[in-house]
Amino acid sequence: MRAGIATVVADTGVDVLHDTREAKEALFFAEEDDVDVVILGVTNDLSPREAVRRAKALRNIPKIVLLLAGGELHHLAQLISGGCDALLLRSTSEPDLANAVGGVLRGERYVDPALVPVLSGSITTTADTNGGLLTGRERDVLAALAKGRSNRAIAEDLFLAPETVKSHLSRVYTKLGVSGRNEAVARAVALGLLG
C-alpha cells in the first residue's frame, strides 16, 4: 500500500523523500527535512489525533493527509479542528489521493466525498441511494445483518462467497465508523439507512 501511495504522490510531481512504517518516524523525518506534506495511515505507534497534534508542533508545520480506517471516523471533526489538511478513507482511489495532495499543497482542505455525510451527520436514505456512503451490495448485506442473519446465511441469500460477505461488512463498519455487528445496525437505524 505504501508503495502505491508513493507512486501516486510522485506522479503528481511531488518528491517522495521518505517511506516509513510508523508515524513517529515520519514526523521525525518531516522535522529533519522540512517536508511540505506528510501522508499518514493507521499506525500502531500514534493515534491519528496524536499524530496531527505532534505534526502541528513541528518547527516547519507540514500539511497533513490522513488515510483513515473505521475506528477513527467518529473523530473526524476533532481531526479537522486539530489541523488535519486532508481526510480520506484508506480505500480511496488514486485520483482522489492525487487531488488531495495537490489541494493541500495549494492551501486547500480536502475531505473524501464518502466522509462528508459522516462528518456532517446528515446521512439520509436518499443520499445513500444516490451513490453516497454505501454501495448497493453493502446496503443488501447491512439489511440482512439487521435481520440477524449470520455471515454464512447472508452469503447464501445473496449468492456470495462468505469471504465476500466479510469484505462487505468490513467496508460497512469502516464507513459507519463502528467496530461490530450490533453497532453497525444501531448506527444504520440512527442514520435512517434501514427502513
Burial classification of residue 122, based on how many CB atoms lie within 10 Å of its CB (0-12 exposed, 13-18 middle, 19 or more buried): exposed
What is the average per-residue pLDDT within 148-171? Answer: 93
Domain match, 6 and 92 both = yes
Domain match, 81 and 9 both = yes
Strand order in the sheet with 63-68: 37-40, 63-68, 86-89, 110-111
Strand partners, 38: 64
Domain match, 79 and 163 both = no
Domain match, 85 and 29 both = yes
**The pLDDT of residue 153 is above 90:** yes
The reported pLDDT for the residue numbered 17 is 74
Classify residue 195: in a domain, yes or no: no
Domain final residue pick, 63, 94, 118: 118
Domain final residue pick, 73, 96, 118: 118
Q: What is the CATH number of the domain that holds 49?
A: 3.40.50.2300
| Domain around 169 | 123-190
pTM, rounded to two decimals: 0.56
Q: What is the CATH number of the domain that holds 157?
A: 1.10.10.10
Domain final residue pick, 118, 147, 178: 118
Nearest to 195 by CA among 110, 124, 120: 124
Q: 164 is written with which cell numbers?
A: 465476500
Number of domains in the chain: 2
Domain match, 90 and 174 both = no
Q: How far is CA 157 from CA 48, 69, 134, 147, in A?
A: 38, 28, 19, 12
**The pLDDT of residue 154 is above 90:** yes
Name the pLDDT band for 124 (thresholds 50, 70, 90).
Answer: very low
Mean pLDDT lowest among 11-15, 150-154, 156-160 = 11-15
